[in-house]
Structure 1
Amino acid sequence: MGGSSDTGAARVDELISELRMLRDARGVSYRELAARVTEQRIDAGANPAAARVPHTTISDAFRLGRRRLNAGLVAEIVEALGEDPAAVALWRARVAAAVAAGSSAAPEPRLETPTPEQPVPASDGLSWGRLVALIVAGVLLNSTGKFVNPLLGDVFFFDMVGTALVAILGGPWAAAAVGVVFIVVELLKGQVVAAVFSVTMVSAGLVWGFGATRFRLAATLPRFLALSAFVAVVTSSIAVPITVFYLGGSTDRGLDGLRDLVIGMTGVHTEVAISIVNATISLIDKVIVGAIAYGVAVLVRRALRPAPRLGA
């Protein structure tokens, strides 16, 4: 009897450890998880008042040392973390099997004091080490894009793949930090114009990040591409005034040729031509960048996802 109980408790702890790793990979806080689970229940037809789940209930599901675990709640949590229906069903079955293995155990005492997380999270689930590594990786990816773009005619930008990736994996503030670091680096290099335009990275990081974490717009590729299109509108609304008022309408890039082409074909004012060109190129650029970042994020999450146990 004791052996069965110990086995069941050990299996529950294993599942909770995997669940912690999954949440850590997604970078979602307990409060955000609670909001997502509540939203899922409402979408399924539950009464809003009855659907609400406290964040303490969610955090309690991640507490090690439990003998029992609610399979339905775990399934809801896993779904809220972006897993597909097959993975959700597998989690539900594994939790039910683990609880059944320890069903002969004595009732678990209710602990009101939550067990502290390990390690101390830096930003809604990511450790400080992972957060810093993620931001550095984002800066390097953006730098790669700025290097490749001139080789392609210097028309597009391709300088925000890292920002979009960090937004998906680390959230809005980590993504905005990528832009801030980029501004500092450009200023240290004496590239004032590049530093001014890097302000768009900060705004893009916030929009991508809040869209991905708060509104779940990174749950599918079409949603994230739509979000990326909105990012293009936001960044273009910042870049156009900088181009017109700070640079006098000339960027010394391939965009100037497109600007002149639009003026020659339509006869519109320079400011209008700049707006048309920037908005169009930005839209194409951000959608491509969003698709690349989404694909990389999927690969990273798969690499961080715990491997399923044989016989589970």
Structure 2
Amino acid sequence: MEQDVRAQKASARFNSIVEELRILRESRGVTYRELAARITRQREENGLAPATARIAHTTVADVFRPGRARLNAQLVAEIVRALDGDADTAEEWRARVAQAARLVPESRPTPDAIGASAFIIPSVHRTTPALIVALVTGGLLLNATGKFFNPLLGDVFFVDMVGTAVVALIGGPWLAALVGVLFVVVELLKFQVGGALFAVTMIFAGLIWGYGVRRGWGNTLPRFLAVSAVVAIATSAVAVPITMLYYNGHVDRGLDVLFAHLQEGGLGPWLAVSGTNLTVSLVDKVVTGAIAFLIARLIRALPRVAEQVFTPLR
């Protein structure tokens, strides 16, 4: 009798969630088979083998059955992600189900629950002032380290946005942009106006990387590198006018050969600078993205930090 009462209470807790989930699916006009196919694709995109990623449409359909005494929080999140496409919304649903079941948010997933989020780089959830200061300071130091190594690399690659990318992966777009803003301030305090102008590109980079991660493009290395390529294009669009207008078209000494080659090919100064900057920026931002992704993964691997501090950003 007592067990039946508990089952009824659990069913009541989950019924409202299941009903909202049903309405969401019907509003999107997605069948159970298509939904299962989308979830499978999501899992494969996040590195799961096809055989492991596959989920039956009957398993998906069962989630929408009313009167349930149990509900798989992670599978619900995958369904919402497949329907809505937003990682933050999916995480909110997962947390709701976990709370309804009186489960801790990081409970061990079942085989069907293993999916995209198992490979998602975490973001800061408990954004305490001390944690924000530590994260932003670390980002600034990483950027400064990259800028220090730039001359040692022949002034060819910048590697001065690793910290921005790491903060974007862990803390989101606005903290990543804050790293850029503070770097501008630091350059101005050093009376390096040119450096401050170029540091503005860090703000754009932080926003693009951060929002890319929020849209699910930080789940795997290839996807994050794709966002990094977009960052390269955006930062070049800002850096080229600065080079032409503030530095009179003079590129770093390490880029002279490529710049001269483009000019010999008949390109004018603007096009030559654009081609030089974009070519180097693409390689630089992809390398930067790879380094940042690795650092963020290492941070995720820190046992106590991973369990007590870092969770996917809602």
Question: TM-score under structure 2 normalisation?
Answer: 0.63
Q: Distance in 1 between matches of 2:306 and 2:205?
A: 27
Match of 2:178 in 1: 177
Deviations 1:201-237 (CA, angstroms, capped at 9, x unpaired): 0000000001012x11110000001110111011001
Could you say if the C-alpha distance between residues 283 and 54 of structure 1 is closer, same or farther in structure 2, counting changes exceeding 3 Å?
closer
> How many residues matched?
225
Tell me the amino acid that sits aligned with residue 182 of structure 2: V
Please state how far the C-alpha of 1:192 moved relative to its aligned partner: 0.4
1:61/1:74 contact within 8 Å kept = no
Tell me the amino acid that sits aligned with residue 82 of structure 1: S
Once the two structures are superposed, the pairs formed by residues 213-228 of structure 1 within 5 Å of their partners are 213=214, 215-228=215-228
Deviations 1:41-85 (CA, angstroms, capped at 9, x unpaired): 1566x7x7xxxx89876555676xx884499x9849x86883159
Could you say if the C-alpha distance between residues 225 and 57 of structure 1 is closer, same or farther in structure 2, counting changes exceeding 3 Å?
closer
Q: Distance in 2 between matches of 1:59 and 1:253?
A: 53
Task: Answer yes or no: is 1:82 the counterpart of 2:117.
Answer: yes
Tell me the amino acid that sits aligned with residue 142 of structure 1: N
Match of 1:191 in 2: 192
Q: Distance in 2 between matches of 1:255 and 1:194?
A: 17
2:81/2:90 contact within 8 Å kept = no
2:77/2:91 contact within 8 Å kept = no
2:249/2:269 contact within 8 Å kept = yes
Match of 2:242 in 1: 242
CA RMSD for the aligned pairs? Answer: 3.4
2:251/2:273 contact within 8 Å kept = no
Tell me the amino acid that sits aligned with residue 244 of structure 1: M
2:164/2:177 contact within 8 Å kept = yes
Tell me the amino acid that sits aligned with residue 218 of structure 2: A
Tell me the amino acid that sits aligned with residue 184 of structure 1: V
Deviations 1:272-312 (CA, angstroms, capped at 9, x unpaired): 111111000000000000000000100100103239xxxxx
Task: Answer yes or no: is 1:134 the counterpart of 2:135.
Answer: yes
Could you say if the C-alpha distance between residues 163 and 55 of structure 1 is closer, same or farther in structure 2, counting changes exceeding 3 Å?
closer
Could you say if the C-alpha distance between residues 247 and 79 of structure 1 is closer, same or farther in structure 2, counting changes exceeding 3 Å?
farther
Could you say if the C-alpha distance between residues 179 and 43 of structure 1 is closer, same or farther in structure 2, counting changes exceeding 3 Å?
closer
Q: Secondary structure at the match of 2:273?
A: helix
Q: Distance in 2 between matches of 1:220 and 1:198?
A: 27
Please state how far the C-alpha of 1:149 moved relative to its aligned partner: 1.0
Q: Distance in 1 between matches of 2:272 and 2:93?
A: 55
Return 5+ residue gaps in structure 2 as ranges: 1-73, 309-314
Tell me the amino acid that sits aligned with residue 146 of structure 1: K
Question: TM-score under structure 1 normalisation?
Answer: 0.64
Q: Comparing both structures, which one devotes a greater share of its residues to helix?
A: 2
